[in-house]
Structure 1
Amino acid sequence: MGKHLFIAEKPSVAKEFAKVLGVNGNAGNGYLESKDYVVTWCVGHLVTMSYPDAYDPALKKWSLQTIPFLPEQFLYELIPDVKKQFDIVAGLLNREDVTCIYVCTDSGREGEYIYRLVDQMAHVPASKEKKRVWIDSQTEEEIERGIKEAKNLKEYDNLSDAAYLRAKEDYLMGINFSRVLSLKYGRNVMNFLNNGKWSAISVGRVMTCVLGMVVRREREIRNFVKTPFYRVLGTFSYEGQQFDGEWKAIEGSAYFQSPLLYKENGFKEYKDAIALCESLDFTKEEVEKGTDTNKTKTDTTEPVQDQNQTDVPRMAVIQKVEKKKEKKNPPLLFNLAELQNTCSKLFKISPDETLKIIQELYEKKLVTYPRTDARVLSTAVSKEIHKNITGLRNYPVVKEIAEHILEQKSYQGIAKTRYVNDKQITDHYAIIPTGQGFGAIAGLNLTAQRIYEVIVRRFLCIFYPPAEYLKLAIIAKRKEEAFFANFKVMTAQGYLAIASASFSRTKAADKKDNDTEETQNTDSTVLSVMQNLKKGMEVELSMLSIKEGETSPPKRYNSGSMILAMENAGQLIEDEELRSQIKSNGIGTSATRAEILSKLVKIRYLKLNKKTQIITPELLGEMVYDVVNSSIRSLLNPELTASWELGLTQVADGKITSDEYMEKLNGFITRRVDYVKHTNNQYLLKQMFEQAAVYYKK
């Protein structure tokens, strides 16, 4: 009987497989072996695509005459630093006594690509049986299941095709567009920067689109002109309690649809806000002093009342009282992008750092596979989810919470909730705790421990009921002018009782659960009085005040919001049909977004503030933006990037062929390269560079 060979992506993963298979020994040889099994590993990528000069030495020199470069057959080569391990793996794959190969690289497009390249370069006979192990965590049970349910590798051929195409696409766009733009405008960029030596302009399918998003946002902020506006607030008194209402110009108001307004709840000019107050029988002096006519004259803190102030109460009539109960459900589970965004806010760490920590938690069996876009569980996993919860009883931070969920058996109906949806899962379900690996927690750094707790709490929240609120909306009118007041009080904490991390200084119900300024979070005593109000009743309008505000510019991206923007790039597309087609395809993938952002910072196109995680352009990045914008503008737009990503998904799903995809890709590259060759934007670009440089002078 022949041996079974298991090949993992990393040594650490291979050791977990070896443990499950009972394979011991010295890993120093690059593999482990027993009577029945051999376990080996890659060290990430062992094979890469060859540069153009491997096709023809003449292509080493960049020239407009040799592009577009579109080979019919692509060449690959070994990565020198890891050639030794490749030779070991290739030898094992071709051993005569190895009759079945289990592919255990990461379960996704990139993991598939890593193995297929090795298989291709090692010339593994097609006659050998090859199976694909697809797992969501590195627990013993999941590895055992993955081996038992391993499918024929051929079932993943479409995924492999998509992986090859993604690499070819990035390779061809990078080489052709970087070369043609560098040859045409590289000297102009360097001369402007007084760099002295020629340098390449680096562009790519995904990275240039991200650069475009950041530069456009920065220019929106620069060009933003603040607009002041003035809101009128009324203070109402009823049975010894006070509440505030905001004036709005609804139908019937003297200011309905007036050009004097900034939106429906504010004026462009202060004098017009004063005019409204005067029409409601308040003097300008009363408004500016903020005089409350409801206060007694024996109150020594009361400002001296103006001689024009009336002693006659100014009453308002209640037009509407609406009571309703509101529920706030626990948020969906974490995918990688959402977790990177959360960690950027909580810990001020970059997406790249977050991914490294989550990968470590995954390899230590604490959480499930990190490179996922899904925020829900699969039906199959939901049926066994009590095992994860049971395991969390061994995690002291949430021991009592886990026990409570198990006692209440609240996990039993989870499959019928929004947290389980097979249609929203592609390769992997959401990131959740495995309920195992607790021995490794003490060895984690503090940030990793805290991130683990954040993941655990997000997971446990879905087994708790929603938070419940009582909301009260009141409309009061004086003359024909309406004031709106909204109140809310929490009546049941629900999941918010467990949502706050143990290290958090604030409550879970703080920032995210506060409504806008219009909603007054209040206590039950005040609310109980307000609930007695009925339509037609009178309340005293005891004070009017004017609150000045101003419009705000768009916010800069931080590292977390940038990752989310990349994930949701389809939302930026105006064309409704195209947007609906690619709503599940963002810019890049969960596995590559952090790396792309890091590269843009490294090549000094973008700047990342490590303390705040705010992202801004560098001057070089703005200049490259202008070069691309005047030459290959579509590279800057999410439509292009997300459309290509959609194409890769269609290949993976078997809806289009690799040949169809490559035909479109080659045509696009040829047209854009030819356009740049015959366009001269040097003078125009110099003007653009000068405009941008103003913002970078020290």
Structure 2
Amino acid sequence: MPKTLIVAEKPSVAKEIAKVLDVRGTRGDGFIANGQYVVTWAVGHLVNIAEPEEQNEDWAGRWSMNQLPMIPSRFKLAVLPKTTRQFEIVKRFMSADDVDTVVNATDAGREGELIFRRIFLMAGCTKPIKRLWANDMTEQGLKKALASMESGEAKRNLGLAAFARAEADWLIGMNYSRLFTLKDHSLVTVGRVQTPVLKLIVDRRQEIEHFVPRNYWTVEATLAHGEDSFSAQWYCPPERSESRIDKEEDAAAIVERCTDTQGAVESTKSRKGQQKPPLLFDLTTLQREANSRYGLSAKDTLAIAQALYEQKKLLTYPRTDSRYLTKDVFNECLSHMRAVYHEFPEITPLAAERIKDGKPKNFACVNDKKVSDHHAIIPTAKRPVKSALSENEWRIYEMVSRRFVAAFLPPVQYASSTIWVLIDEQPFKATGKVFKDKGWLVAEPWRTAKDNPLPALRKGSKVTAESLKAPSHQTKPPAHFTDASLLAAMETAGKLVEDDELREAMKERGLGTPATRAQIIETLLARSYVEKDKKKLVATDTGRHVIDVISQHLPDVTSPELTGDWEKKLGDIERGDFTYPEFMHEIRDSVYRNVRGIKNYQAYDKDGFPTAPPANPVAPVSDYRAGAPRPARQQYDRDGFPIVSSAQPAATVQQGAGVAFYDDNGFPIESASSTTKPTRKEKPLPTRVEHEGEVVGVCPSCGKNVLVHADAYICEADPSCPFRIPRDAFGGEITMNQAADLLSKGRTFKRGRFVSKKGKRFNAHLELDGSRVALRFKD
């Protein structure tokens, strides 16, 4: 009988799935099985991108500039040494003849998809995939997920976006970390998200250190009307928008002028207002709230929420970036409300009644369009046992439960009033608020403000300034980041971006994702780029130096704009509006050009430190959606790798006034405009000055370096050593990467494009025959 293989992300999840499917058969080491199902797990990542030395033997050993840029033609994967045994178990079942379907039961979102797809790829499996998408780990939630599984093809684009994100992060991290470490002669680690977050913290420290406090004064009055008295504050005429006074003598003059002076009400304004219920928690807002209220770190909050999801089954999936519910989940909310009723009987009945009588459109937290991978965090339908939870587990559960109830309670109703009083022609303002209905605030009482009523006055009413004072104040620097405020800055990093399109992308994702933001903070702490002073996150001198070094050469890497651009395009890949090959070509091109530009810049300041390169040393790659010609749409295999046909030239992207071509390895080839048809007699004349003098490899004749020249790759021992490789051959160009392959391996392993004497294009390998370059048509 054919079996179904289910691959979960963790053993705990696998065991819960096995229980629901009644898999109580053989409990092997690393799997649970019966005659119908095999349930196994990944233990997180079993497969990662291989280390540089495994990608290319030339990248092994001591770091050197000659190894850069490191851009694999195709990324190799490697099984993690610590998880080899579990990988072999999963692979064995994926290859088993009696398994006909594989279920991907990893976490939703890019990372879970990446974990499974890498295993599937590494195992060489070709069997049909189904995708399990569980909102909560209760029996009811898992049964629902198992009954509504999607085809793996439905999540294909999500998998491609996951591969693109991981590979692009590898290219940025590996190349720029080595580049800046070698340039600075000290370890400098660079990350697409880590570096701009560090920049935020460094900038905040510098703002505080360079802050110069300024003294100012205000005038505060106690005004009387009959037996009633109330407080008011002076505002500067005629705009009345500023209450600060720069000079103490000016404040004292107002006090002297108005004390014991009668005035009159100039105007009164009253209005009714309401405060809508808050949206539900996503992971980031939950982490911020827990840090503000209880001092819990982002990492601790995630760990607690994950335990309440996986082990206690009291919360829905926590690694979500949505604060909304779908209509389908709304229809199940009463069962969730019943589960929390016994712990919160004073607030749940009204919420339950409103859910019964209302429609989804009546509640701001219900919006299908605002839910991507998972809906907001809410309590499950399982009733909690408070005594079975730790203090912090209960705190998180209570916060989520109270917010869940609050979202379905009525708005807060209040009346606010504003009174302007003129005393000897000096304007004083008094404001007050009275709460008519506390609404949802009963669920989160710590947010409730006190009533501040004002006496019933009307225009012309007489008042007396009983007492006035002019307290002194001092401007304060911005506060150091805490976990809560840094998470907010990471979530709303789009505010730092000027481009509207990028800002919209970052509005959804920000810097990092809810699932990764806590780890980013922990990474910065572990690398001693940031340190904690109680709740405060403070950049260290090392962290500041790292940002200085990177900002000198690649300021874009420290900016949230880079992440916004990536997240937008990764989102486009998920939606099918952009492709993995197009995205990776752009990243490869950017890294290639940036590394080349910085590596070859040899200017140093008077202290011996490298100075910044000229502005814009690397021309950015245009986005076809902004008006540039769209790259040729490439085909790619089931694993998301581009397929390069021998009859089809590689894709092109607009580069300045010309066109940047890519060879079969994905490297950019500098060439002239493609409008000129290359022939033996007339071929493109590329601009080659920028790479002249670079080392491209080792001379096979004498062992010295081979250098790049305008028309050939020539041994530095020339003329005593005659070895050279021409740059123009067989109607085409031998690129630097092809020359490097010839010198290190004796042949190119990817075909180059050339032109016959009759003007026909053809593809062939190159090989070294002694000191002569020859064509090779077979692999």
Alignment equivalent of 2:573, drawn from 643, 651, 661: 651
Q: Which residue of 1 is the match for residue 553 of structure 2?
A: 631
Structure 1: distance between partners of 2:602 and 2:482: 35
Structure 2: distance between partners of 1:402 and 1:84: 49
Q: Is the 8 A contact 1:390 1:403 kept in 2?
A: no
Residue 438 in 1 paired to residue 384 in 2? yes
Residue 332 in 1 paired to residue 279 in 2? yes
Q: Classify 1:600/1:369 alpha carbon distance in 2 versus 1 (closer, same or farther; 3 Å).
A: same
SS of the counterpart of 1:100? Answer: strand
Q: Is the 8 A contact 2:201 2:537 kept in 1?
A: yes
Q: Which residue of 1 is the match for residue 627 of structure 2?
A: none
Q: Which residue of 1 is the match for residue 19 of structure 2?
A: 19
Deviation at 1:102, TM superposition (A): 1.4
1:238-257 aligned within 5 A: 238-251=225-238
Deviation at 1:484, TM superposition (A): 0.6
Q: Which residue of 2 is the match for residue 358 of structure 1?
A: 305
SS of the counterpart of 1:331? Answer: coil
Query: Cα deviations across residues 560-608 of structure 1 (Å, max 9, x unaligned)?
Result: 2212211111112134454245422311111111111111100111112
Alignment equivalent of 2:447, drawn from 508, 514, 519: 508
Residue 391 in 1 paired to residue 339 in 2? yes
Q: Classify 1:443/1:572 alpha carbon distance in 2 versus 1 (closer, same or farther; 3 Å).
A: same
Deviation at 1:326, TM superposition (A): 2.0
Residue 418 in 1 paired to residue 364 in 2? yes
Deviation at 1:675, TM superposition (A): 2.7
Q: Which residue of 1 is the match for residue 36 of structure 2?
A: 36
Structure 2: distance between partners of 1:405 and 1:27: 45
* Larger relative contact order (Cα-Cα within 8 Å, sequence gap ≥ 6): 1
Q: Is the 8 A contact 1:383 1:415 kept in 2?
A: no
Q: Which residue of 2 is the match for residue 49 of structure 1?
A: 49
Residue 269 in 1 paired to residue 215 in 2? no
**Which structure has the highest strand share of the two?**
2
Structure 2: distance between partners of 1:586 and 1:406: 34
Structure 2: distance between partners of 1:338 and 1:110: 21
Residue 235 in 1 paired to residue 222 in 2? yes
SS of the counterpart of 1:434? Answer: coil
Alignment equivalent of 2:293, drawn from 342, 346, 352: 346
Q: Classify 1:409/1:50 alpha carbon distance in 2 versus 1 (closer, same or farther; 3 Å).
A: closer
Alignment equivalent of 1:452, drawn from 394, 397, 403: 397
Q: Is the 8 A contact 2:272 2:415 kept in 1?
A: yes
Structure 2: distance between partners of 1:114 and 1:577: 30
Q: Which residue of 2 is the match for residue 138 of structure 1?
A: 137
Deviation at 1:397, TM superposition (A): 2.3
Instruction: Give the AA of the match of 1:657.
Output: T
Deviation at 1:148, TM superposition (A): 1.3
Q: Is the 8 A contact 2:192 2:557 kept in 1?
A: yes
Q: Classify 1:106/1:239 alpha carbon distance in 2 versus 1 (closer, same or farther; 3 Å).
A: same
Deviation at 1:264, TM superposition (A): 2.1
Instruction: Give the AA of the match of 2:559.
Output: N
Query: Cα deviations across residues 612-670 of structure 1 (Å, max 9, x unaligned)?
Result: 32100112111111111112111111111221122111111111111111111112112
Deviation at 1:28, TM superposition (A): 4.3
Structure 2: distance between partners of 1:45 and 1:443: 31
Structure 2: distance between partners of 1:223 and 1:461: 43
Structure 1: distance between partners of 2:346 and 2:465: 50
Q: Classify 1:171/1:21 alpha carbon distance in 2 versus 1 (closer, same or farther; 3 Å).
A: same
Q: Is the 8 A contact 1:335 1:370 kept in 2?
A: yes
Q: Classify 1:206/1:644 alpha carbon distance in 2 versus 1 (closer, same or farther; 3 Å).
A: same
Query: Cα deviations across residues 249-273 of structure 1 (Å, max 9, x unaligned)?
Result: 232xxxx69xxxxx72121101112
SS of the counterpart of 1:615? Answer: strand
Q: Which residue of 1 is the match for residue 197 of structure 2?
A: 210
Identity across the alignment (%): 34
Structure 2: distance between partners of 1:346 and 1:102: 41
Provide the alpha-carbon RMSD of the alignment. Answer: 2.1
Alignment equivalent of 1:377, drawn from 307, 325, 341: 325
SS of the counterpart of 1:591? Answer: helix
Q: Is the 8 A contact 1:320 1:475 kept in 2?
A: yes
Q: Classify 1:563/1:62 alpha carbon distance in 2 versus 1 (closer, same or farther; 3 Å).
A: same
Structure 2: distance between partners of 1:580 and 1:29: 47
Q: Classify 1:240/1:559 alpha carbon distance in 2 versus 1 (closer, same or farther; 3 Å).
A: same
Instruction: Give the AA of the match of 1:94.
Output: S
Instruction: Give the AA of the match of 2:193.
Output: V
Q: TM-score, normalised by structure 2?
A: 0.75
Query: Cα deviations across residues 27-79 of structure 1 (Å, max 9, x unaligned)?
Result: 44211112222211110000011111112323113111121111111100101
Structure 2: distance between partners of 1:596 and 1:685: 33
Deviation at 1:547, TM superposition (A): 2.2
Query: Cα deviations across residues 303-345 of structure 1 (Å, max 9, x unaligned)?
Result: xxxxxxxxxxx22111111111221222111100001111111
Instruction: Give the AA of the match of 1:102.
Output: V
SS of the counterpart of 1:131? Answer: strand
Q: Classify 1:239/1:681 alpha carbon distance in 2 versus 1 (closer, same or farther; 3 Å).
A: farther
Q: Which residue of 1 is the match for residue 465 of structure 2?
A: 541
SS of the counterpart of 1:398? Answer: coil
Q: TM-score, normalised by structure 1?
A: 0.84
Structure 2: distance between partners of 1:174 and 1:219: 26
Q: Which residue of 2 is the match for residue 185 of structure 1?
A: 184
Q: Which residue of 2 is the match for residue 196 of structure 1?
A: none
Q: Is the 8 A contact 1:217 1:554 kept in 2?
A: yes
SS of the counterpart of 1:44? Answer: coil
1:266-305 aligned within 5 A: 266-280=244-258, 282=259, 293=260
Deviation at 1:400, TM superposition (A): 4.4
Alignment equivalent of 1:427, drawn from 354, 357, 373: 373
Instruction: Give the AA of the match of 2:363.
Output: T
Query: Cα deviations across residues 129-183 of structure 1 (Å, max 9, x unaligned)?
Result: 2111112111122211111111110111100001001110111100100111111
Q: Which residue of 2 is the match for residue 495 of structure 1?
A: 440
Instruction: Give the AA of the match of 1:430.
Output: A
Residue 69 in 1 paired to residue 70 in 2? yes
SS of the counterpart of 2:5? Answer: strand
Q: Is the 8 A contact 2:282 2:322 kept in 1?
A: yes
Query: Bigger CA drift: 670-679 or 562-571?
Result: 670-679
Q: Is the 8 A contact 1:44 1:114 kept in 2?
A: yes
> How many positions carry a matched residue from both structures?
609
Q: Is the 8 A contact 1:9 1:43 kept in 2?
A: yes
**Which structure has the highest helix share of the two?**
1
Residue 5 in 1 paired to residue 16 in 2? no
Unaligned runs of 5+ in 2: 612-779
Deviation at 1:417, TM superposition (A): 1.9
Structure 1: distance between partners of 2:166 and 2:543: 24
Unaligned runs of 5+ in 1: 190-199, 258-262, 283-292, 294-313, 501-506, 515-520, 690-698
Instruction: Give the AA of the match of 2:7.
Output: I
Query: Bigger CA drift: 212-221 or 397-406?
Result: 397-406
Query: Cα deviations across residues 341-388 of structure 1 (Å, max 9, x unaligned)?
Result: 111112212111111111001102111111111111112111221111
Instruction: Give the AA of the match of 2:452.
Output: T
Q: Which residue of 2 is the match for residue 596 of structure 1?
A: 520
Q: Is the 8 A contact 1:588 1:645 kept in 2?
A: no
Structure 1: distance between partners of 2:270 and 2:610: 57
Residue 484 in 1 paired to residue 414 in 2? no
Q: Is the 8 A contact 1:410 1:464 kept in 2?
A: no
